[in-house]
Structure 1
Amino acid sequence: MIDAHLHVWRIDRGDYDWLADEDASLRRDFSLADWAEAAASTPVDSCVIVQATPTRAETHHVLAVARDNPDRVRGVVGWVDFERPEAPDEIASLAADPLLVALRPWLQAIADPDWILGDQVGRALDALEQAGLVYESLIKPVHLTRISELARTRPGLSILVDHGAKPDIAADGFEPWARDLRDLASASDRVVCKLSGLLTEAGTRTSRDELEPYIATILDAFGPDRVLWGSDWPVVTTVASYADWFAMAHDLVPAEHRDAVFGGTASRIYGLDAADRLIQEVGR
């Protein structure tokens, strides 16, 4: 099984400013060995590492971690400043590394919800599509209509929505999130969604029954072949253990859909099998 969304970080690198506002338990180093220990009691045996801060140094850091752990890491989601004039060239250069499978600008931290639709960003998205990389979308519910517009105007772009677009589960914010998510799912069959990050949006509403409508909506909107599971480790540990979140998600995904959600979709969407073959051919 594949964990399609986890992070590693090393505090002494000095670019994780966002951690200052997070739970104190996160303000320490987290290595891939730490993740392997956390996942040891589950069937999860490989992963995709997702960048944890919007810097170029972070992208190269997680790529280095991936190269050092070929038995565990199947791919990396990196970051590029999409507004820089050099962004298309940088994307093309990074895409030459078979470990890089996607790029993720931090829309949730950008004040303008229409930012992703701008002309300057469009040049980067052109380069992303040409390189065959996934555009990974770190968004909140306010962005769903914008991503729907993006999907409809760029039918060739593969779009992956992180954390179900972070519904406000804590405030029981089911609508209009569910409506807009369904609209996004119908906008393009190249849009997929991660079943991840929900516990940290849930506040005190973390029971199986309280999360079930959100997970069911994601599965119903996209179908199992367009949904992939991720732990969002170590952030998830502020709410639940790795094993507990895995068990809850595994229980709430119907048995007939688990092969897709817990591995098959990630492998296909990120092109992990092709990347594995290329890595083996060229060597790490």
Structure 2
Amino acid sequence: MIDAHQHYWDPARGDYGWLTPELTALYRRFAPADLAPLRASCGVARTVLVQAAPTLEETRYLLDLARQDDSIAGVVGWVPLDDPRAPEIIAELAREPKLRAVRPMLQDLADDDWIAKADIARGVEALIAHDLAFDALIFTRHAPALETFMTRYPALRVVIDHGAKPPIRAGAPGFETWARAITRIARFGQAHCKVSGLATEAGPGWDDGTLRPYIAHLLASFGAHRLMWGSDWPVLNLNGDYGRWHASAQRLFAHLNAQERAAILGGNAAAFYRLQLRNRPAVSSRLDNPAETPAPQRGSP
């Protein structure tokens, strides 16, 4: 099993603008040793480590961690795609075998249409040339611009983080707008989607029933062959925990056949990110289901 979306960070590094002391559950260093027992309890062998700061320094920090820990199968970093030097920067970072994608943190940009309007052609073409993928951190409002972007670059592999952050706490009023956007995005064959971050977008006390309509629509739109499960740990700690979300996902996908479940829980991430999975660390398969943690705040990665 592969966790397709998790984070490590150290606030002392000073480049996590969104990570403030008010986020008490998150405002500390999170490292591989913190996740190891949680992974083991759920049978998760490898992870994809995703950037949480829009700096090259943080990307290099994550790549350093990946060189030291075999459980990190791939890294999603950040590069300044609109920098004239972007092709050279990407070429340098691409020498790191575990760099598998980049993510520009679209949700935090002032212009919701940036991805469709910015002068990033040379940077994107460099991603394609180096066989790197693109993580899209978006809300529903970013969907039209992302569609323009994907139309322009059909050779670029794109994965939507956190199911485009559906407004689960808003309930029925927000569902249809989100669902239409997902349906449109899924029509692009290069688009995949992460089943991650849903617990964070739900209200306190979420359960399988809370998430089931969103999971069902993602399955109907992308199919089991273009979905990948991720924890979004430790952001997940704002409104859940690793064992609880993992167990919920297992139940929500229980109606699928074994091949489909295996794809969502690891195979799709391995294929999409071109992961090298030799020397896989041993883990157990026991599931934990600890108690619920406090409600989340918006804007996390």
User: Shorter-chain-normalised TM-score: which range?
Assistant: over 0.9
Structure 1: gaps of 5 or more residues: 278-284
Deviations 1:223-264 (A, max 9, x none): 111000000000101111100000001111134221000000
Identity %: 44
CA, structure 1 residues 118+227, in 2 after alignment: closer, same or farther (shift >3 Å)?
same
Q: Is the 8 A contact 2:5 2:196 kept in 1?
A: yes
2:234 equivalent to 1:234: yes
Aligned position for 2:37: 37
d(CA) in 2 for partners of 1:4 and 1:21?
A: 27
d(CA) in 2 for partners of 1:122 and 1:276?
A: 34
1:110-121 mapped onto 2 (5 Å cutoff): 110-121=109-120
Aligned position for 1:183: 184
Aligned position for 2:218: 218
- Per mean C-alpha deviation after superposition, the further-off stretch among 22-31 and 198-207 is 198-207
Deviations 1:47-68 (A, max 9, x none): 1110111111110000010100
Aligned position for 2:82: 83
User: Shift of the alpha carbon at 1:193?
Assistant: 0.2
Q: Is the 8 A contact 1:139 1:165 kept in 2?
A: yes
Aligned residue pairs, count: 274
Deviations 1:1-21 (A, max 9, x none): 000100001122111221117
Give SS of 1:19's match: coil
2:266 equivalent to 1:272: no
Give SS of 1:139's match: coil
d(CA) in 2 for partners of 1:191 and 1:205?
A: 31
TM-score (norm. length: structure 2): 0.87
Give SS of 1:82's match: coil
User: Shift of the alpha carbon at 1:38?
Assistant: 2.1
Give SS of 1:249's match: helix
Aligned AA (1:270): Y
2:129 equivalent to 1:130: yes
**Per chain length, whose mean CA-contact separation is higher, i.e. which structure has more relative contact order (CA < 8 Å, sep 6+)?**
2
Deviations 1:64-117 (A, max 9, x none): 1010012x1111000011121111211121112110000000100001111111
1:14-163 mapped onto 2 (5 Å cutoff): 14-20=14-20, 23-70=23-70, 72-163=71-162
Q: Is the 8 A contact 1:104 1:137 kept in 2?
A: yes
After TM superposition, which residue ranges in structure 1, 4 or more long, deviate above 4 angstroms? none
TM-score (norm. length: structure 1): 0.93
